[in-house]
Amino acid sequence: DEKFFAPWSQDKPVGGVDLLLWGFRAFSRRKVFGENRQPRSREWFGVQHDNASIESFGTLNRKAISVEEADLRVFPTQDPLFYSFDEPGEGYPFDYLQNSTVQPGEPLFVSHISKDGMWAFVNASTASGWMDIRRLAWISEAQIEEWKKHSLCVVVKDNVPLLDSEGVFYALSKVGTILPISRDRTLADCYEVLIAIRGSGGNALFRSVSLDKKAAVAKPFPMTKWNAAFIASQFIGESYGWGGLNLKRDCSATTRDFFTVFGIWLPRNSKAQGQIGQKIDVQNLSVCLKEKRIKEEGIPFRTLATMPGHVMLYIGEYYGMPIFLHNVWRFRFLEEGKEYSHIVGRAVITPLNPRIKSEKGELIETRIGERVSHFVILGDK
């Protein structure tokens, strides 16, 4: 909870102005494209840089709260940015301006506002970026204390609408959304929880909504095997969303939201998630030895398998074969010495090296197991 609420303890932006500038440095030097497959021009970059109001960084320094699910963008625009659509694994959905998302009720710290007034540059607990200002509200110190004094619940099912007693819709919640319980009647089948809405002047107003106790639990949820399997099952089949694009999850958002339910905080991206916990180096092992190692030392639902650009959750064995939950865009495989891609585009359960059917109908092993470099155990063994 301390890390979740961390933005409300800030008095200046974290990460410095480099957090604001890195996208311009990374993308303006290479050929990138818009949704119409046409190159992004120097003028387009100039417009984004001007709107980012770099000179205003750290001048507002105001606390806020998200009022609904929202994107965190690298530039203050909803315009996408793609690498070449002709490169394998590029084009849609890899909009490189999509950094992350926030859920309703997340603490935020606002550095400053874009020149056009439409975007706020925010620090959330797991990521930073430009957020549509209509999706946040300014929160006072008294309101923060009111919000934090309550016990918390966490949503355990996806796409749960937040409705008041009259059926008015405010926001959509997903697995991992954290909200304060304003009232918990023992025999009732719902929690009454607080949400924030954007009132006059953009200031936060609190409202009470109901959350079915089948869709939310008191935080943290005990990490039993049954509970872990239940939460994991909520992700299966969800479409892939790079950086939370279209309010879907990618690999690291899946693992982050899974562990959030159990009170374990994870950083946002797969590289950072691979740097925590107890690491087991397997990068020089064969796939067969990696499977043997995780069966011997891995703990189901508490072990990550990491590699450059991807992360998976070890969930146990199936007929003696270790299996993993992950949201993945594509599998790579070799056929006649040439690398190909098989688009998956959703959350699946697979072995370390899943097999796919080639165009000839032959079963071919993908290369994901070869790329696994570490297993990471979270918590005590």
Are 378 and 258 a contacting pair, CB within 8 Å?
no
Residues 91 and 187 in one domain: no
Q: What is the pLDDT along the chain (381 residues), one digit of tens a residue?
A: 899 999 999 999 998 999 999 999 999 999 999 999 999 999 999 999 999 999 999 999 999 999 999 999 999 999 999 999 998 889 999 999 999 999 999 999 999 999 999 999 999 999 999 999 999 999 999 999 999 999 999 999 999 999 998 999 999 999 999 999 998 877 789 999 999 999 999 999 999 999 999 999 999 999 999 999 999 999 999 999 999 999 999 999 999 999 999 999 999 899 999 999 999 999 999 999 999 999 999 999 999 999 999 999 999 999 999 999 999 999 988 777 777 788 999 999 999 999 887 767 777 888 899 999 999 999 876
Final residue of a structural domain among 137, 165, 181: 137
Tokens (6 digits) for 325: 């939950």
Residue 160 and residue 132 in one domain: no
Q: Residue 62's pLDDT is what?
A: 98
- Domain of 355: which CATH number? 3.90.1720.10
By three-state DSSP, how is residue 316 classified? strand
**Residue 297 pLDDT:** 96
Range of the domain at 176: 150-218
Q: Do residues 333 and 230 share a domain?
A: yes
Task: Give how many domains the chain has, as a whole number.
Answer: 3
With beta carbons less than 8 A apart as the criterion, state whether 294 and 375 touch: yes
CB 365 within 8 A of CB 268: no
What pLDDT is stored for residue 264 in this prediction? 95
At residue 299, the pLDDT reads: 97
Q: What is the pTM of this model?
A: 0.95
Distances (CA, A) of 213 to 107, 136, 170, 227: 24, 27, 19, 14
Q: Cα 111 to the chain's mean position, in Å?
A: 21
Do 93 and 169 reside in the same domain of the chain? no
User: Is 196 within a domain?
Assistant: yes
Residue the block writes with tokens 């009647």: 185
Residue 195 resides in a domain: yes
Closest to 378 measured CA to CA, from 305, 290, 317:
305
Evaluate whether 366 touches 342 at the Cβ level (below 8 Å): yes
* Segments in 70-196 forming alpha helices (H): 141-148
Radius of gyration (Cα) for the chain, nearest Å? 22
Tens of pLDDT, residue by residue over 139-180, are 999 999 999 999 999 999 999 999 998 999 999 999 999 999
Task: Give a yes or no: residue 264 inside a domain.
Answer: yes
Q: Which of 276, 244, 10, 275 is nearest to 124 (CA)?
A: 10
C-beta of residue 312 within 8 angstroms of C-beta of residue 305: yes
pLDDT at 88: 84
Whether the CA torsion 128, 133, 134, 137 is positive or negative: it is: positive
Residues 370 and 326 both lie in one domain: yes
Within-domain flag for 72 = yes
Q: Are 294 and 327 contained in the same domain? A: yes
157 near 257, Cβ under 8 Å?
A: no
CA–CA gap between residue 334 and residue 88 (Å, rounded)? 14
CATH number at residue 168: 2.30.30
What pLDDT sits at residue 367?
85
One domain for residues 350 and 317: yes
Spatial CA neighbour of 283 closest among 369, 377, 378, 381: 369
Number of residues that make up the chain: 381
